[in-house]
Amino acid sequence: MKRKSRLNGKRAVPMPRCSTMEQADTSIDDQMNSMEYFAEEYDMELADALQLVGKSGSIKANLEAAMDEIIARKRSGERIDVVLFYDQSRFGRSGPLHFGALADRLLDEGIEIAETDAFMEDANNATMVRMMKAMIAQQTARGIADNSARGSQQALREGRRSHASKGAYGIDRLYMTEDDEPICIIRLLPDGTRLNLDPETKEVRLRYEPGKMGFKKEKKDKVTLIPGDPEHQAVVIRIFAMRHEQGFAGTRIARVLNDEEIPSPNGKRWTKTVIDAMLRNETYCGVGYANRHSSALYFNQAEGRPEPLPREQGRRIRGIRPESSWYLIAYPKLRDYLPEHLRPAAMAEQAEHRAKIKSGWIKDPARRNGRTTHLLSDILVEPTTGKRLIAKRSRGRIYYGLNKSVDMPAKGSQRRRWLASGPLHRAVLEEIEALICSLPDLRERIIKEIGEQDKQRRGESGEAEQLLANLDKLKARLKSQVRRLGGDDDDIVNDAIDETTRQIRVIEDKLAGMNGGPALTEKDIAAITDGVIKDLSAMLQALAEEGETSLRKVAETLISSAVANLDENEVDFEFAIPAELIEQRNVRLAARNGPAPCRQAYKWRPIPLDAVTVDIPKRCSGDCWEPFEPSGCDDCRRQPKAA
């Protein structure tokens, strides 16, 4: 019997989702069966399903990409009235705020959502319940992450897993029973194929093709690392010998191996990055460190969390945890992997690398050569291409330029130049020194700027009513534009829809800021200002005590813009107090409950400090490389700790 519902006659896109590929064989079919039964019961038509296989519901980008695809199908002329899913967790575990944003995007396109496990006819009640379920789903995901982390730590202590998911070049994985009886050896080939070898004879038993399910250990089975292919081990020993006996750098070692046509671990050519990573890999000395890196979604809430490192477009890259959070795993069978005369030198270089990590000199494990640790690496921007400049060291001096291997300018182009770092570093340090001296004088300036920004946030009298009226007009226009889809001018209509949607979001964000709480009082503004100055003072105090290890962080914080004009050999710096320092101190706005769950708090603007243009001589003299020395003043320049 068909149920009478607001869904009757509507066309729905089923959206089953599972987090791992192993779940795909059963979970996707079960979800589809449930949605097909639901569609028949509610007299709905099902469109082609959008299957999210192996997509974590906690990763916002997965869900946003799915919404983009559904909206694109709608705008291409396909009739889509509903997005259908099994339960709230299948629509994502990214929390109520993100869920509200996704639902809002669909609603703007005339698409509603429905779940099969507990569908509610009353739309208002359904929205409230879904928000609660979205929060529960997020907390469940965090609980799973915590349990998984504890289980991994226990398995590491009991020898049931190794510190890495796969062995390094020239190293195999040995699986054993609970009683240490050998089961098999798994060897990884350069093309991704895995071989199952007999632990006694080393003969090949099975071959697992790339991407296919391989050997699966039992829960209590143990695993350790052992020496692998003798030919590969000989290459590893030769690499360490060229480094510690002949003094070769990574580039020269790679050139020697490439000239002899020896394939690298991935079957391609050797590079300096691969060589350096092998030389710093403690596994070749018989130990491994687990829990050193973190790319966990919830590491911001974890104990011993690494400092979040933003990537372009605001994405996070994995960070390095504090050394106290690492787990040391010993591999007895690898203790004699390197000859005795090479082990001390190899261990010394690896210890030096760990010391750099501990000091904060190296933060991004994806760039083991530490390029981002130079003062202005990835801060300087070339305006023509929009690319960030990297650093290179030549004859003991540092230069900045475009990455030629990625952004190769035309031959003869001025953008092939490398800028001397001396004048740039001196200008940055002088500005930081000036800031140390002027912190007390900044208070009134910050108070005035925060007061003006808060006044702009609240708007003029009658502005809210005007914005609401404009919002209604834009939403009516959006509905009209969506109804026009399906004709020959869909490209033009889609562009118009994008522009209207952008205008709606601008107004909604403005209204969210206006509803973000009452006007800040003089006491509130003074408290925020004192907090900002306190944060700046703490950062500069750390610079005075720690020196170069803290300088990079200060530069990242205070430099709001650094445009490098390679054609003219000049760099324009702009310094500012970042908006983040104001936002984290403004508890009132950060904790507000806005009218729309998908909207963010009011966005504060940076407070500009100074602007400097640095002209670099085309042939930099020796004076350019003289280290910076503070010029001193009567009060604080010679006493940085007092600042």
Residue closest to 614 by CA, chosen among 578, 560, 562, 555: 562
User: Under DSSP, is residue 186 helix (H, G, I), strand (E, B) or coil?
Assistant: strand
Residue type, 383: P
* Site of tokens 């994806």: 366
Q: Among 215-224, 473-482, 484-493, 545-554, name the most confident range.
A: 473-482
Distances from the Cα of 346 to the Cαs of 236, 349, 367, 601, 613, in angstroms?
Answer: 12, 5, 20, 51, 45
User: What is the model's pTM?
Assistant: 0.47
Q: Which two tokens stand for residue 458?
A: 């609240």
Q: What is the pLDDT of residue 98?
A: 84
Per-residue pLDDT band for 323 (boundaries 50, 70, 90) equals: low
pLDDT digits (tens, 9 = 90+) for 357-407: 766 555 554 444 444 467 888 889 988 888 888 888 777 678 888 876 555
Per-residue pLDDT band for 539 (boundaries 50, 70, 90) equals: confident
**CATH architecture observed for domain 11-153:** 3-Layer(aba) Sandwich (3.40)
The DSSP call for residue 269 is -
Asked if residue 98 lies in contact with residue 125, where contact means CB atoms within 8 angstroms, the answer is: no
pLDDT digits (tens, 9 = 90+) for 208-258: 887 676 777 777 888 888 898 899 999 999 999 999 999 898 889 999 999
Please indicate whether residue 179 or residue 301 has the higher confidence score (pLDDT): 179
Distances from the Cα of 472 to the Cαs of 69, 75, 478, 495, 503, in angstroms?
Answer: 27, 22, 10, 20, 12
Q: Which two tokens stand for residue 414?
A: 């001025």
Residue closest to 184 by CA, chosen among 203, 167, 171: 203
pLDDT digits (tens, 9 = 90+) for 53-72: 888 888 788 888 899 999 98
User: Under DSSP, is residue 610 helix (H, G, I), strand (E, B) or coil?
Assistant: strand
Q: What is the mean pLDDT of residues 304-327?
A: 54
Q: What is the pLDDT of residue 402?
A: 84
Q: What is the pLDDT of residue 397?
A: 78
CA 531 to chain centroid? 28
Q: How many CB atoms lie within 10 A of CB 513?
A: 23
Phi, psi of 397 (to 5 degrees): -120, 155
Whether the pLDDT of residue 607 is over 80: the answer is yes
Q: What is the pLDDT of residue 222?
A: 85
Q: What is the pLDDT of residue 315?
A: 39
Q: How far apart are CA 254 and CA 272, in angstroms?
A: 6
Please indicate whether residue 531 or residue 635 has the higher confidence score (pLDDT): 531
Q: What is the pLDDT of residue 95?
A: 83
Domain positions in the chain are 11-153, 171-291+326-368, 423-642
* DSSP secondary structure of 203-266: -EEEEE-TTS------TT-EEEEEE--HHHHHHHHHHHHHHHTS---HHHHHHHHHHTT---TT
Whether the pLDDT of residue 498 is over 90: the answer is no
User: What are the residues facing 328 on neighbouring strands?
Assistant: 289
Q: How far apart are CA 214 and CA 208, in angstroms?
A: 6
pLDDT digits (tens, 9 = 90+) for 132-146: 888 888 888 777 766
Residues 6+ away with beta carbon under 8 Å from 55: 17, 18, 19, 62, 66
Asked if residue 551 lies in contact with residue 595, where contact means CB atoms within 8 angstroms, the answer is: no
Arithmetic mean of pLDDT over the chain: 78
Q: How far apart are CA 340 and CA 72, in angstroms?
A: 62
* Site of tokens 């007390």: 440
Asked if residue 594 lies in contact with residue 601, where contact means CB atoms within 8 angstroms, the answer is: yes
Angle at 598 between CA 10 and CA 505, to 5 degrees: 85
Please indicate whether residue 175 or residue 157 has the higher confidence score (pLDDT): 175
Whether the pLDDT of residue 344 is over 50: the answer is yes
Burial group, residue 88, by CB count within 10 angstroms (0-12, 13-18, 19+):
buried
* Site of tokens 């590929």: 21
Q: How many CB atoms lie within 10 A of CB 410?
A: 7
Pair type for strands 171-176 and 222-227: antiparallel
Q: How far apart are CA 403 and CA 273, in angstroms?
A: 15
Phi, psi of 190 (to 5 degrees): -60, -30
Per-residue pLDDT band for 13 (boundaries 50, 70, 90) equals: very high
Asked if residue 38 lies in contact with residue 31, where contact means CB atoms within 8 angstroms, the answer is: no
Q: Which two tokens stand for residue 474?
A: 């834009």
Burial group, residue 339, by CB count within 10 angstroms (0-12, 13-18, 19+):
exposed
Half-sphere exposure of 453 (CA within 13 A, CB side): 20
Segment (H or E) for 135: helix 123-157
Q: What is the pLDDT of residue 237?
A: 94
Q: Which two tokens stand for residue 496?
A: 């118009």
Q: What is the pLDDT of residue 269?
A: 87
Q: What is the pLDDT of residue 370?
A: 41
Q: Which two tokens stand for residue 469?
A: 């009226």
Give the range among 189-203, 379-393, 485-499, 583-597 with minimum mean pLDDT.
583-597
Per-residue pLDDT band for 153 (boundaries 50, 70, 90) equals: low
Asked if residue 381 lies in contact with residue 564, where contact means CB atoms within 8 angstroms, the answer is: yes
Overall residue count recorded for the chain in this entry: 643
End-to-end CA distance of the chain: 78
Q: Which two tokens stand for residue 222?
A: 């143990």
Residue closest to 32 by CA, chosen among 47, 54, 10, 11: 47
Q: How far apart are CA 235 and CA 355, in angstroms?
A: 27
Phi, psi of 499 (to 5 degrees): -65, -40
Radius of gyration of the chain (CA): 30
